[in-house]
Structure 1
């Protein structure tokens, strides 16, 4: 019994790739999301760095240029106010400059004489420079402000008030349009956003929730940038698509590689099978439909695989036909078929057909190898070489020369599955095939249209002096329809299933006690029928 599984390795490859494929896709998407996180963080850090530089530069410049007002600290407000206002007007982004003495604000460039404690603006500290963020001032409600105190002595110095609107403008200009949002934070004070908002901030622990921060190298402030969700979503989708495409490309490449590797393993196994005699032949008779006498046999290649058991040609021949092993395998079939059929005393009127693939026919030494095998068995039945996958056969000069050489040595040729999708009338005309094998689908259907087509093929073949063989004859109805259609030869399960040579000899002996009369195709005196090696 021929097994129907196991050597179809390439057909099992998709299933073998399902789980690894799913894992590869999951891993690719996971890596893509990680890459998105890295890309987003890098972008946020780059934007924050681009903002923190001008903010730091502004504060450094403010400190340097405002130092000219330090000598005014301690002077009466009415004397210092004109020069204080002149200094304030020369400082960009500054709302007001205030003189501080003894921890109290007493003179403002905008309000003149005032009286407020420094503690109302900043926490007590001994640092030379001090920063803070306020949601509002006593003189301007609900308008956040950045305050900077430049200490010149104990409780003395200059207090600068920078309006939040200027800071928001710097934040929005550095945020690359709508792709991100930025904030400025002073630890222990609060956060100012580019939307003119203020939020209290008690510690640096909550800064991470606002995005990626970059701290000023010289001031206790941090610029935090968070990418907009729409930009992150678009980036994620883009990375996911790239990851999926790459993972699919890797899977397809892996699948192709595995397929090639499996085919190479199959070819190596077939080469070992030739050396170990694992290949063997079975034979199916070709019958004269009118008399039901045997006129030849069709040889079918089988593989007795040590692991997978007996295998039909569908499991391995496609790979072998497209490899360099097709020549040795075809020669093995020819040699074995002639030897075994001759050994049972088959009559000279019989024919033995051997499948040959176009790849083998196109080889330069094809005809010479075949002639050598034929010469080894002089007393042999008629040999018919049946061309499979004829759509790949080229009727060029070398092929025509090979056909002529083999015809000179008594070989005939058959074209397989005529009427199917690869039918080529021009090829039939150019290479003068001796036999046409009608595809089994036309015999099996039993439809009137197919029977008419079979009759037409038979009539067409007679005009070309070509014999017709019908494959797949399985019922008496098939037999009768073919006889009425003018088809002379047939083969199929109705007459006999494929069997080993010993069983073939017994069946022939019991069904054909006397040698059948010779049945010749009209075009040639050398024999009649066809044989398939599949």
Structure 2
């Protein structure tokens, strides 16, 4: 029950986060369009302002005589932005192009707005005369047409558009959406954008209502949420299962190390010229009842992390030497043990090795220690480790040569008997352009007068190439044999002896 609740809570939070991201993506796209609308509206409003201001400054006619009124009419007819043009005297409009001379002059509104450019803005609400905006300069007044912003009406399905002075004291134009608010309408899903002119006392405000997720239909929103829930519940369950498996595996490993339930396999090492098994490499194996066969690449790092590697490697040495002792002595086979940093730096390793060889009557001369690429101890410790092994008669092999830390620089300072060529280089034999690199590399190693072991030989092409060029070398790989249990190894040795 707790697991179900945890999955539900985590999935819900992740769905909310995902919806937030989806909303942000949609809003980002909508903001681009909103900016285009705002920029277009501002540019258009600037054109209107420029036309009105330029015309007001260019008018030289003063008064309400017939010539002046005719002039006002020509100006009105020549510009679609203008609703009317008139003249002001003593704070009252005394004539206009449309009305001619007014029998009763119309007083200007009490609240007037002065712009930094020297113009005066007025708003009229006289139904019998004029309703709208007007600009005044030198006693001349121009009324802007009520239809001047009609071109923006088609885009107001989701937008509110407003054009105002910078202090928002005068509104030149304002229009709201015609459609009803969406099902998810709220201020949270309303985008505001304000752009202001650098030349005129003018700003435009564009509001996008029902933005982001609110722009989706309820059906699409529910479907999107359902898909996100399915995805996150699946992923949450997957990662919870991984977490559980990991800790289950760790618990099983602790039990396996404590109970010494690891098994050991032996990979035969074959001499090329007579195809005789001259050695075996010890390989640990572990089968967990929940995880089946578990790869050493997985369980060995976990054992190290759990701080149980020393107990593990001692168990592997004890088990392998006791199992294979009689076969090794009878057939004079080398027993190869892989060691890493822990064994090299652990002063008890050589003591354990000597003790187990003594208990199982195995000559130390039949033991070979393989320094793997993970043996990254400091140079001084590594050299001391090799010298101590050599002093008791143990052979030393440089493992995984050609990759990572196993390289020529290491060889000049170490006491060793054998070099194992890594499988990654052997694989290059099958590719013509890599074959030359393999030959140059291997020929150089032959000159060191050390035993060469080619790992990972898996097919006849690889075997024949190595056998023809390096007949005194050793091979190891599935071409000759997979790793074997002790009983399988005994059967194979018995079969090869016949």
Q: Normalization by structure 2: what TM-score?
A: 0.53
Corresponding residue number in structure 1 for 2:372 = 388
1:490 to 475, 486, 493: 475
In the aligned structure 2, how far is the partner of 1:322 from the partner of 1:290?
43
2:21 to 26, 29, 34: 29
Provide closer, same or farther for how the CA distance between residues 278 and 164 of structure 1 changes in structure 2, counting only shifts above 3 A. farther
Corresponding residue number in structure 1 for 2:342 = 360
Q: Indicate whether 1:410 and 2:425 are aligned.
A: no
In the aligned structure 2, how far is the partner of 1:110 from the partner of 1:464?
113
1:466 to 426, 450, 468: 450
> 1:100-499 alignment to 2 at 5 Å?
110=92, 135-136=125-126, 138=128, 141-144=130-133, 193=171, 196-197=172-173, 226-227=205-206, 266-320=249-303, 324-344=307-327, 346-347=329-330, 349-357=332-340, 359-361=341-343, 363=345, 365=346, 367-378=347-358, 379-380=361-362, 382-390=366-374, 393-420=376-403, 423-444=406-427, 445-446=429-430, 456-486=440-470, 487-499=472-484
1:299 CA drift (Å): 1.9
What SS does structure 2 have at the residue aligned with 1:430? coil
| Number of residues of Structure 1 aligned to a counterpart in Structure 2 | 348
1:427 CA drift (Å): 0.7
CA offsets 1:199-241 (integer angstroms, 9 cap, x no match): 799xxx9xx99999xxxxxxxxxxxx95566xx99xxxxxxxx
Provide closer, same or farther for how the CA distance between residues 362 and 504 of structure 1 changes in structure 2, counting only shifts above 3 A. closer
Q: Normalization by structure 1: what TM-score?
A: 0.50
Provide closer, same or farther for how the CA distance between residues 182 and 333 of structure 1 changes in structure 2, counting only shifts above 3 A. same
In the aligned structure 1, how far is the partner of 2:486 from the partner of 2:287?
15
What SS does structure 1 have at the residue aligned with 2:413? helix
RMSD after superposition = 5.6
Provide closer, same or farther for how the CA distance between residues 376 and 24 of structure 1 changes in structure 2, counting only shifts above 3 A. farther
In the aligned structure 2, how far is the partner of 1:200 from the partner of 1:291?
95
What SS does structure 2 have at the residue aligned with 1:331? helix
CA offsets 1:169-213 (integer angstroms, 9 cap, x no match): xxxxxxxxxxx97679xxxxxx962xx237799xxx9xx99999x
What SS does structure 2 have at the residue aligned with 1:360? helix
Provide closer, same or farther for how the CA distance between residues 482 and 111 of structure 1 changes in structure 2, counting only shifts above 3 A. closer
Provide closer, same or farther for how the CA distance between residues 491 and 325 of structure 1 changes in structure 2, counting only shifts above 3 A. same
In the aligned structure 2, how far is the partner of 1:210 from the partner of 1:347?
87
Q: Is the Cα contact below 8 Å between 1:473 and 1:492 reproduced in 2?
A: yes
Q: Is the Cα contact below 8 Å between 2:252 and 2:288 reproduced in 1?
A: no
**Gaps spanning 5+ residues in structure 1: where?**
1-18, 37-107, 122-132, 146-162, 166-179, 185-190, 213-224, 234-254, 514-534
Q: Is the Cα contact below 8 Å between 1:337 and 1:352 reproduced in 2?
A: no
CA offsets 1:388-443 (integer angstroms, 9 cap, x no match): 225x6244222222222233233322222323465410112212332111123444
In the aligned structure 2, how far is the partner of 1:20 from the partner of 1:290?
68
Q: Is the Cα contact below 8 Å between 2:260 and 2:315 reproduced in 1?
A: no
Provide closer, same or farther for how the CA distance between residues 343 and 304 of structure 1 changes in structure 2, counting only shifts above 3 A. farther
What SS does structure 1 have at the residue aligned with 2:348? helix
1:318 CA drift (Å): 4.7
1:469 CA drift (Å): 0.7
In the aligned structure 2, how far is the partner of 1:289 from the partner of 1:427?
27
Provide closer, same or farther for how the CA distance between residues 471 and 200 of structure 1 changes in structure 2, counting only shifts above 3 A. closer
Q: Which moved more, 1:442-451 or 1:473-482?
A: 442-451
**Gaps spanning 5+ residues in structure 2: where?**
1-10, 29-89, 95-101, 110-122, 135-141, 145-159, 182-186, 193-203, 213-237
Higher relative contact order (CA 8 A, sep 6+): 1
In the aligned structure 1, how far is the partner of 2:385 from the partner of 2:244?
33
